[in-house]
Homo-oligomer: A and B are copies of this chain.
Amino acid sequence: MLPNSSERLFVFEGGTDGPWKVSEMEAVRGEGLPVVSAVAVRLGSEAQAAETPPVWDRGFALRGVTSNERYVARAEKDTLVARQQGLGRPEATRAALIPIRKSAAWWALTQDERRRILEEQSRHIAIGLEYLPAIARRLHHCRDLGDAQPFDFLTWFEYAPDHGPAFEELCARLRDSPEWAYVDREVHISLERT
């Protein structure tokens, strides 16, 4: 069951301090983000309560909320739940934050049209399943937060160093898919912790 939305809101703060060190920042499509050296992931409620100075004054603070799935069907969900691992595994010392914005043309499509492009044409869900349980993932929605957000989605990935090549392959396959014709801004931030 989904908790209250205030417990589903996360803030990704990019600055000079944080547990995740930036190893690379790439503007895959469209405008990039300010270059930062570290990223901290906080619950929205904690970020609002924090008394520390905003490290993202010179960096960024991206907000997103976890939510119900928009496209996954029951059979896919059951497979996902059986295979996927949670965040925070001790061996998962590599992470990636990939903010994405989709075009106005995407959002003008109807639900059946978006599902057809995402899965029947692009196999987004099926491709993702191939990389489980190695790659853990959490999707955050930004589009309907109510204040203007620079991206529509923030996806957070965690994996062990050995699975780095597999993760890069996963990203490349999705970027090659018909769905990605509707992505008009994408940044890839590679992270690691000790």
Instruction: Give chain B nearest CB distance to A111 CB in angstroms.
Output: 6
Nearest neighbor of A1 in chain B, beta-carbon distance: B104
Give the docked Cα–Cα distance between A74 and B144 (Å): 22
Verify B146–A111 contact, CB threshold 8 A: no
Instruction: Give chain B nearest CB distance to A105 CB in angstroms.
Output: 8
List chain B residues, Cβ under 8 A from A141: 144
Verify B143–A67 contact, CB threshold 8 A: yes
List chain B residues, Cβ under 8 A from A149: 5
List chain B residues, Cβ under 8 A from A145: 5, 144-146
Instruction: Give chain B nearest CB distance to A59 CB in angstroms.
Output: 20
Whether A111 touches B69, Cβ cut-off 8 Å, given contacts A104-B2, A145-B146, is: yes
Q: Size class of A's contact patch? A: 35 or more
Instruction: Give chain B nearest CB distance to A67 CB in angstroms.
Output: 5
Copies in the complex: 2
List chain B residues, Cβ under 8 A from A9: 146-147
Whether A63 touches B143, Cβ cut-off 8 Å, given contacts A1-B107, A110-B69, A110-B72, is: no
Name 19 interchain pairs, CB-CB below 8 A, sorted by A: A2-B108, A5-B147, A5-B148, A5-B149, A9-B146, A63-B146, A65-B144, A65-B146, A68-B107, A68-B108, A69-B111, A70-B70, A72-B111, A73-B111, A74-B110, A76-B110, A77-B110, A145-B145, A146-B146
Q: A2-B107, A9-B146 are in contact. List 9 more A-B contacts (CB 8 A).
A: A1-B108, A44-B146, A63-B146, A70-B70, A72-B111, A73-B112, A111-B111, A145-B145, A145-B146
